[in-house]
Amino acid sequence: MEELKNDRFLRALLRDPVDVTPVWMMRQAGRYLPEYRATRAKAGSFMDLCKSPELACEVTLQPLERFPLDAAILFSDILTIPDAMGLGLYFAEGEGPRFEHPVRSAADIDKLGVPDPEQELKYVIDAVRTIRRDLHGRVPLIGFSGSPWTLSTYMVEGSSSKEYANVKGMLFDRPDLMHKLLDTLARSVTSYLNAQIAAGAQAVMIFDTWGGILTPRDYREFSLRYMEQIVAGLTREADGRRVPVVLFTKGGGGWLEIMADTGCDALGVDWTLDLADARRRVGDRVALQGNMDPTVLYASPERIRQEVVTILESYGKGSGHVFNLGHGIHQHVDPEHAAVFIEAVHELSAPWHQ
């Protein structure tokens, strides 16, 4: 492996000094880029794109050709694990993800095994290897997975949902089944992320997209606990460096303190929190990643720069901040506005690191 030329991102996650605040964008390889849309059209379906290591590598690297980003993130879907378990993931045109075989009963859950990442998920692990090779050490590569709770919501509902009637029904009335499902998922995610790390991922992020629909009690018991189990089971060093782990619970701003107690290195933070408050709450236990409102990228270049200033001031002096959006970049954003954002972070953050 070639030596890492820009390690700002990894250093900031471990709260080691940096020259400027590192920056990347959730969903930076995505539909707002015309070159992504071209590759996507060439691939056929979205899952065909995910399942081709060469094409997944191509789209992963596209935003790095345009912008001086400080990290690359594996291009994949969060639902690869349930698909590998045999649930039959597909995307209906104009709708979200769906499963042919949702999980509803004890028998359905008993049938689920832990996928072997080098077999059923080999296309993902091959993508990690390919991307790592083609990055030539420019920036670190982030691997990722959905959280067990988040995966379970799609598996039990069979699709994305507004009401979560089925999965909440199982949680409330059959917590035993829910725990069995979540334990199988936690072991699967651990194995999957460790395979990504072995293949070259230099940091990993766990996306808990639906943890925020739970009560604080249920969040601890059904989401956080399994993320903690995963963090404890991860390979924490690769290439002689620590592999940082980032947890991101959408809508989880009330729970930063208990998230920081899981042993992770950093927390993703959305824009409904001030970074100054978040930093005070987590102290020096974890770094913070975020938290610009993605809709700021619809605003004028001057307004984008002003928002970057506000967020840098809110975080304050010193390392421990990875600049990011508080959610994925929207598909209708002008890539030139993303360029303004990324350049502003590098240019305007230097004084905060002197």
At closest approach, how far in Å is the CB of 298 from a copy of itself? 5
> Is cis: bond before 6, omega within 30 of 0?
no
Q: Are 33 and 333 in contact (CB under 8 A)?
A: no
Q: Give the Cα separation of 280 and 157 in Å (integer).
A: 38
Q: Is 105 in the site for a copy of itself (CB under 8 A)?
A: no
Q: Is 45 in the site for a copy of itself (CB under 8 A)?
A: no
Closest CA relative to residue 99, chosen from 157, 144, 48, 54:
157
Taking CA atoms, 120 is separated from 74, 81, 83, 163, 226, in Å, by 17, 9, 9, 31, 22
Q: H helices of the chain, where?
A: 8-13, 34-43, 46-51, 53-66, 80-82, 106-110, 122-135, 148-157, 165-173, 175-199, 216-218, 225-233, 256-260, 275-282, 301-315, 335-349
Q: Which of 66, 122, 285, 330 binds a copy of itself (CB under 8 A)?
A: 330
Q: Which of 44, 96, 113, 169 binds a copy of itself (CB under 8 A)?
A: 169
> Is 279 considered catalytic here?
no
> Is 31 considered catalytic here?
yes
- Given the complex with a copy of itself, which of 170 and 189 has the nearer CB atom? 170
> Is 265 considered catalytic here?
no
- Given the complex with a copy of itself, which of 70 and 157 has the nearer CB atom? 157
Q: Is 96 in the site for a copy of itself (CB under 8 A)?
A: no
Q: Is 301 in the site for a copy of itself (CB under 8 A)?
A: no
* Residues 185 to 214 in contact with a copy of itself, rule: CB under 8 A: 212-214
Which one of the spans 24-32, 79-87, 267-275, 344-352 is the region binding a copy of itself (CB under 8 A)? 267-275
Q: Is 335 in the site for a copy of itself (CB under 8 A)?
A: no
Q: Are 217 and 160 in contact (CB under 8 A)?
A: no
- Draw the binding track, 271-300, toward a copy of itself (x: CB under 8 A; -: no contact): xxxx--x---------------x-xx-xxx
Q: In degrees rounded to 5, what are phi and psi of residue 291?
A: -140, 45
- Given the complex with a copy of itself, which of 19 and 95 has the nearer CB atom? 95
Q: Which of 251, 285, 339, 352 binds a copy of itself (CB under 8 A)?
A: 251
Max distance between CA atoms of the chain, in angstroms, equals 59
Q: Which of 86, 137, 254, 335 binds a copy of itself (CB under 8 A)?
A: 254
Q: Which of 119, 317, 332, 351 binds a copy of itself (CB under 8 A)?
A: 332
Q: Is 216 in the site for a copy of itself (CB under 8 A)?
A: yes
Q: Are 287 and 321 in contact (CB under 8 A)?
A: yes
Q: Which residues are catalytic?
A: 27, 31, 40, 77, 154
